[in-house]
């Protein structure tokens, strides 16, 4: 039992075989670096010594703003070795809106009140002023920990299972300023549950990841889980993967990786951005669980990935699903790894009008498809409630509430935000879904729900259809509701990025085709479609389309949509 075998995360790391490979940082075909568990421990101890020289001690916060890689990981662990509480913050890149990043950076660093903020030598000078440095905060440029020293174990700082281990930020963004503080015990209990349901074997499994370390998928599933389970992980930077998505197939094939966690869009992005003529040179037979952690999980995305790569060894039951969030350390549910995630069809009209799931046969006119996010992990509970707080029965759609033995106790230094979401021991996720036959289905975010003519419309459903058009960039469409005072209801506006700017010369035909696709798939009419050039939509630090920020940008540029409501 992991949670009882290891008192803390550092104890788990110290028990790893010194010669076993831990992290492989993959830069390109010719440049990669692998460190063993023994070498990783040594470098982490050197980083701990450097932090200690700057006065870092038990309970101090250490903010790490570093590019993805082994140095950031060793600083993070080095802080924990001192009993300090590290937090990894997104590193700036060209895909993130500068003003949004600066605002979020200032807010997060102010909230954490860190003893030390660690940045690399290339951190942009113009952003230094946005790092909130209190009187007791020191800004440190990261030093080299690849030299001599670090062989001796460090003295125990007195970490206990209920001591804070680290802080991860909710929703993969710095802007929300929701620091999720997690104890060693909570994290170890989560890892133990994942090991049990995924049948993880540190001696034979290997993780692949391009996920950012400031996001729960990257931090927990692809760093902490391998560290505790003494399992190798092959890692590349998120930016490199986005620029060259085919590298995912290359790394999975070369290193025979068995596990990976991915957002929904990756299941479409990789086959669409990899020339079909090169598919046959890869081998995905080693993959036993490629886990879709998005809300919702899209059947069309999973099917597209399987159709593309079944011929190169991908097994149908290798495509899995999970419902995960920082507030629960990571996973709440996981699909059965011995079979594909459960799917069901429901009456689309009743779903939109009544928020009720009435199962129908697949292919029924007007039916909607739903993919399960899996069954609850051990010691996790779920409730579905209405807007009035009533607990709903199976098949009714409402807000998802969770309770578990690894749930967070509150947002760091934000009792105001905590009191809004933890009520009577239940965390109100803000996600909408339904529970049926022991499976949890997530259908969207409560705050994103559009009420159009009395019907419940999920923007993700419309966005999926819009992005299916060949002229639209994958994952770069946002549907929103804007109030029409003449009609007394909201109408749907869609803004989408085209693949290439020259496509804007053919706006009329593209808009007409998209309207037809949306009506045919959902019976919903779109008032306005706005096609924009590449890179127009605002991105979050996680690289996702930022819904609220894009809405603000749209209203600034299109005054005709400002109705005063």
DSSP calls for 491-502? EEEEEEEESSGG
The label of the residue with tokens 């037979």 reads 285
Q: What pLDDT shows up at residue 286?
A: 98
**Could you report the per-residue pLDDT of 350-405, keeping only the tens digit for each?**
998 899 999 999 889 889 999 999 999 999 999 999 999 999 999 999 999 999 99
Interval 438-444 mean pLDDT: 95
Q: How many CB atoms lie within 10 A of CB 28?
A: 11
Q: What pLDDT shows up at residue 21?
A: 97
Interval 472-492 mean pLDDT: 80
Q: Using an 8 Å Cβ cutoff, are 69 and 238 in contact?
A: no
**Could you report the per-residue pLDDT of 462-476, keeping only the tens digit for each?**
888 899 898 999 889
Q: Predicted confidence band at 153 (pLDDT cuts at 50, 70, 90)?
A: confident
Q: Using an 8 Å Cβ cutoff, are 471 and 456 in contact?
A: no
The label of the residue with tokens 């933890």 reads 422
Q: What pLDDT shows up at residue 174?
A: 41
Q: Using an 8 Å Cβ cutoff, are 257 and 286 in contact?
A: yes
Q: Using an 8 Å Cβ cutoff, are 150 and 382 in contact?
A: no
Q: Which tokens go with 348?
A: 């689309």
Q: What order of strands is seen across the sheet that includes strand 472-484?
A: 472-484, 489-498, 528-532
Q: Which residues pair with 140 in a beta bridge?
A: 118
Q: What pLDDT shows up at residue 175?
A: 41
Phi and psi at 442, nearest 5°, equal: -105, 130
Secondary structure element (H or E) that encloses residue 167, with its range: strand 164-169
pLDDT, the chain, mean: 90
Length of the chain: 565
Q: What pLDDT shows up at residue 543?
A: 66
Interval 322-334 mean pLDDT: 97
Residues 6+ apart with CB under 8 A from 478: 459, 463, 494, 495, 496, 537, 545, 547, 550, 551
Q: Predicted confidence band at 265 (pLDDT cuts at 50, 70, 90)?
A: confident
Examine the pLDDT at 411 and tell me if it is beyond 80: yes
Q: What pLDDT shows up at residue 561?
A: 77
Phi and psi at 518, nearest 5°, equal: -65, -45
Interval 202-208 mean pLDDT: 96
Q: Predicted confidence band at 231 (pLDDT cuts at 50, 70, 90)?
A: very high
Euclidean distance between CA atoms 71 and 222, whole angstroms:
16
Q: Predicted confidence band at 173 (pLDDT cuts at 50, 70, 90)?
A: very low
Secondary structure element (H or E) that encloses residue 345, with its range: strand 343-347
Report CA Rg, the chain: 23
Report pTM.
Answer: 0.87
Q: Which of 275-289, 308-322, 420-434, 537-551 has the lowest mean pLDDT?
A: 537-551
CA dihedral of 129, 133, 134, 136, whole degrees rounded to 10: -140
What is the DSSP pairing of strand 21-28 with strand 233-235?
parallel
Q: Is the dihedral of CA 214, 217, 220, 224 positive or negative?
A: negative
Q: Using an 8 Å Cβ cutoff, are 340 and 379 in contact?
A: no
DSSP label at residue 446: G
Euclidean distance between CA atoms 159 and 81, whole angstroms:
9
If you average pLDDT over each of 322-336, 485-499, 525-539, which comes out highest? 322-336
Interval 105-129 mean pLDDT: 88
Q: Which of 387, 464, 461, 382 is nearest to 426 (CA)?
A: 382
Euclidean distance between CA atoms 254 and 211, whole angstroms:
19
Q: What pLDDT shows up at residue 107?
A: 80
Q: Predicted confidence band at 147 (pLDDT cuts at 50, 70, 90)?
A: low
Q: How many CB atoms lie within 10 A of CB 216?
A: 26
Contacts 24+ apart (CB under 8 A), 119-126: 119/65, 119/66, 120/65, 120/66, 120/67, 120/71, 120/91, 122/67, 123/65, 123/91, 123/92, 124/92
Residues 6+ apart with CB under 8 A from 426: 383, 401, 402, 403
DSSP label at residue 411: B
Secondary structure element (H or E) that encloses residue 226, with its range: helix 225-229
Q: Predicted confidence band at 172 (pLDDT cuts at 50, 70, 90)?
A: very low
The label of the residue with tokens 């994958």 reads 474
Q: Predicted confidence band at 281 (pLDDT cuts at 50, 70, 90)?
A: very high
Examine the pLDDT at 61 and tell me if it is beyond 60: yes
Q: What pLDDT shows up at residue 487?
A: 63
CA 384-386-392 angle, to 5 degrees, is: 50
Q: Which tokens go with 356?
A: 């009720």
Chain-centroid distance of CA 36 in Å reads 27
Q: Which of 62-66, 450-454, 501-505 has the lowest mean pLDDT?
A: 450-454
Examine the pLDDT at 456 and tell me if it is beyond 50: yes
Q: Which tokens go with 454?
A: 């009395």
Euclidean distance between CA atoms 338 and 319, whole angstroms:
10
Examine the pLDDT at 160 and tell me if it is beyond 90: yes
């Amino acid at each position: 039992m992991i949670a009882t075998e290891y008192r803390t995360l550092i104890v788990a790391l110290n028990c790893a075989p010194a010669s076993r490979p831990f992290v492989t940082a993959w830069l390109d075909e010719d440049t990669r670096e692998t460190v063993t568990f023994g070498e990783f421990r040594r470098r982490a101890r050197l980083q701990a010594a450097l932090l200690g020289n700057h006065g870092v001690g038990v309970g101090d916060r250490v903010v790490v703003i570093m590019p993805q890689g082994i140095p950031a990981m060793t600083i993070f662990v080095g802080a924990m070795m001192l009993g300090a509480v590290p937090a990894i913050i997104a590193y700036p890149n060209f895909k993130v809106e500068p003003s949004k990043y600066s605002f979020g950076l200032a807010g997060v660093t102010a909230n954490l009140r860190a003893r030390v903020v660690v940045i690399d030598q290339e951190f942009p000078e113009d952003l230094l002023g946005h790092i909130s440095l209190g009187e007791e905060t020191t800004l440190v440029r990261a030093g080299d920990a690849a030299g001599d020293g670090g062989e001796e174990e460090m003295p125990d700082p007195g970490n206990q299972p209920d001591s804070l281990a680290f802080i991860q930020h909710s929703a993969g963004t710095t802007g929300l300023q929701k620091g999720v503080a997690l104890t060693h015990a909570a994290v170890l209990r989560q890892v133990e549950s994942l090991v049990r349901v995924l049948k993880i074997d540190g001696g034979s499994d290997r993780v692949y990841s391009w996920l950012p370390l400031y996001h729960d998928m990257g931090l927990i599933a692809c760093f902490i889980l391998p560290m505790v389970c003494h399992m190798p992980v092959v890692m590349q930077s998120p930016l490199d993967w986005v620029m060259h998505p085919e590298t995912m197939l290359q790394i999975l094939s070369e290193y025979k990786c068995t596990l990976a966690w991915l957002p929904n869009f990756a299941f479409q992005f990789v086959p669409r951005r990899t020339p079909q003529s090169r598919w046959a040179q890869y081998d995905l037979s080693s993959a036993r669980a490629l886990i879709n952690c998005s809300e919702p999980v899209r059947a069309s995305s999973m099917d597209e990935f399987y159709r593309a790569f079944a011929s190169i060894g991908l097994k149908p039951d290798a495509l899995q699903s999970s419902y995960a969030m920082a507030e629960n350390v990571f996973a709440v549910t996981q699909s059965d790894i011995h079979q594909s995630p459960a799917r069901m069809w429901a009456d689309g009209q009743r779903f939109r009008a009544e928020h009720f799931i009435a199962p129908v046969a697949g292919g029924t006119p007007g039916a909607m498809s739903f993919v399960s996010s899996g069954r609850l992990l051990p010691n996790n509970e779920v409730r579905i409630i209405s807007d009035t707080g009533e607990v709903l029965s199976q098949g009714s759609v409402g807000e998802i509430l969770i309770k578990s033995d690894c749930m967070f106790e509150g947002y760091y230094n934000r009792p105001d935000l905590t009191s809004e979401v933890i009520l009577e021991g239940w965390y109100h996720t803000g996600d909408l879904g339904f529970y049926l036959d022991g499976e949890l289905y997530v259908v969207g975010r409560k705050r994103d729900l559009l009420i159009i003519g009395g019907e419940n419309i999920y923007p993700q459903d419309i966005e999926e259809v819009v992005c299916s058009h060949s002229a639209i960039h994958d994952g770069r469409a946002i549907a929103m509701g804007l109030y029409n005072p003449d009609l007394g209801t909201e109408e749907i506006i869609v803004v989408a990025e085209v693949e290439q700017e020259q496509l804007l010369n053919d706006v009329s035909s593209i808009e007409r085709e998209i309207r037809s696709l949306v009506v045919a798939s959902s019976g919903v009419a779109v008032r306005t479609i706005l096609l924009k050039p590449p890179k127009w939509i605002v991105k979050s630090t996680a690289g996702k389309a930022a819904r609220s920020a894009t809405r603000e940008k749209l209203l600034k540029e299109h005054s005709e949509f400002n109705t005063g409501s």
